Chain A
Amino acid sequence: MSALRATRLWKYFGEYPALRNLDLEVQPGTCLSLLGRNGAGKTTLLRLFAGLSDPSEGTVELFGKSSRDGEARRRIGLIGHGIAVYDELTAEENLLLFGRLYNLPDPHKSASEWLERTNLANVKDSPVREFSRGMRQRLAVARAFLHEPSLLLLDEPFTSLDDRAIALLQSLLKDALAGGATVVMSTHQLREAMELSTHVALLNRGKLAFNGARPAEMLADPAWLYRTHGEA
């Protein structure tokens, strides 16, 4: 069973088709990088995968179930454009909140573990509004990984991260992949993404221009795919 399957997917914003008849299948344990210029449809596609929006036509299945199915959503870890934590709550309260929403057996234990792993244990009782940008980003990573998701959906995860947060995220993603998780990420930061990616998909104006195993050429020259399959 595939971790993620999109079939004949269309998404319209008014009259404009942001995604056009897109078919995509992601196998468990793989890391797919969604590439494409701004406006190519990467974020729209990730939002459909995360169940944040319904497709205009076509279907999205996560582990054989609809993306709006509660059990399928339990397996998603999402890092979007925002950090998705509450400024007025403390770091620990934020993680406890999501631990309870994901029905974790011991939310306190999980929260403590992830605060340790993200080096935030010493500020666990401070409100997030007092955090530096890097600390907020690490908390966002802890929130996304808290329930040990089997499908990680990451929208530009390396954008505006500091070096420490990039290293942390890459290490966590490697661990997750080694543990059998599936990762789908949209990114413009090809060098960081190519270290992890087993597959790449290139979107061009809502259509798939390329989908397959990561070409070997991309390790030495990350922009190779754009030149051979992308817009001129």
Chain B
Amino acid sequence: MRFLQQTYTIAAKDLRSEFRTKESLNAAASFALVILLLFSFAVDPTGPMVREMSGGLLWIVFSFAGALILNRAFARELPNDCLDALISSPISPAALYLGKAIASFLLVLLIEVLCYPAFGLFYDINWTNNLPYLILVSLLGTWSMSVVGTMFSALTVNLRLRELMLPMLVYPTMIPALMAAMKLTTVLISGEPLSDNMIWLKLLIGFGIIFTALAVALVEYILVG
């Protein structure tokens, strides 16, 4: 119970801070929408190719825009040395990590909620064919991105080139989850059944579980060691 309360306190604090400053939200939302818009000029929005690459395009946009949000997960503690106050407090490092991962997860989801309708509009695609499953895939893919990104945000927080280092570490690690999320999103937007692609769904779930467990186990060593 105490663990959950600590996790909630950190997540609520990060969300409140972000909604007050909108530092990463504004940057991520504008970046995502601009990329979707520009790409719509590069391909024929009415052609069949758009459906085939829809998952790839969307998840590239989500992961690039997401990196702007994930970079801030621990970096927002740097001004005034707030991270020291958190680490020396009795909060469990795992609760600190999970609170930040949940806040990042919700912020990236918010970007995705903006992107799906914009994608439908710019590319003239009905993306709601399999909406419940699309939501499920988005939740799983975004959680995988958030746990990996938040872990590497903790690892790179004291580096000067952290904005560069984070994507270099996150994207290679994320490849299995990104492949699964791209494939499943393409399938769902094309209106195909999910049942033929369960292996990708299992991969996405497994990735999320493994990296959540790994990050929770390692976060104290990352922050203090």
Contacts and interface: CB of A to CB of B under 8 A. Distances in A.
A74 B90 contact: yes
Given A101-B6, A101-B90, A102-B90, A82 B84 contact: yes
B80 A84 contact: yes
Interface size class of A (residues with CB under 8 A): 20 to 34
Nearest to A53: B224
Contacts of B82: 82, 84-86
B79 interface: yes
B87 A52 contact: yes
Given A68-B220, A82-B82, A88-B20, A51 B9 contact: no
B76 to A, nearest CB: 8
Contacts of B225: 54
Interface string B88-112: 1111100000000000000000000
A86 B87 contact: no
From DSSP, what is the main secondary structure of chain A's interface residues? loop
Nearest to B87: A52
A76 B88 CA distance: 7
Contacts of A54: 224-225
A78 interface: yes
Interface stretch (A26-34, A92-100, A205-213): A92-100
Contact of B21 (A70, A84, A88, A97): A88
A73 B90 contact: yes
A82 B80 contact: yes
B17 interface: yes
Interface string B66-89: 000000000000011110111111
A99 to B, nearest CB: 10
Given A51-B87, A81-B81, A84-B81, A68 B224 contact: yes
A78 B16 contact: no
B202 interface: no
Interface in B174-225: 220, 224-225
With a 10 A CB-CB cut-off, give which of A50, A68, A84, A103 has the most chain B CB atoms. Answer: A84
Interface in A194-210: none
Contact of A84 (B9, B13, B16, B85): B85
Contacts, number: 81
Contact of B84 (A71, A84, A100, A127): A84
B17 A101 contact: no
A87 interface: yes
B5 interface: yes
A52 B158 CA distance: 13
Contact of B9 (A68, A83, A85, A100): A100
B160 interface: no
Nearest to A143: B85
A195 B21 CA distance: 43
A54 to B, nearest CB: 6
Given A51-B224, A88-B17, A89-B16, A101 B89 contact: yes
B81 A82 contact: yes
A137 B17 CA distance: 20
Contacts of B80: 82-87
Contact of B81 (A73, A80, A88, A102): A80
A71 B90 contact: yes
Given A70-B90, A86-B82, A98-B85, A52 B16 contact: no
Contacts of A101: 6, 9, 86, 89-91
A97 B84 contact: no
A196 B98 CA distance: 41
Contacts of A103: 2, 5, 90
Contacts of A82: 79-82, 84
A78 B84 contact: yes
Given A76-B88, A127-B20, 13 more contacts: A50-B84, A50-B88, A51-B87, A53-B224, A54-B225, A73-B90, A78-B84, A82-B84, A83-B80, A87-B80, A89-B20, A101-B91, A143-B85
Interface of A: 50-54, 68, 70-71, 73-74, 76, 78, 80-89, 93, 97-98, 100-103, 127, 143, 153
11 contacts: A52-B87, A78-B85, A82-B80, A84-B84, A93-B16, A97-B9, A100-B5, A100-B6, A101-B86, A102-B89, A102-B90
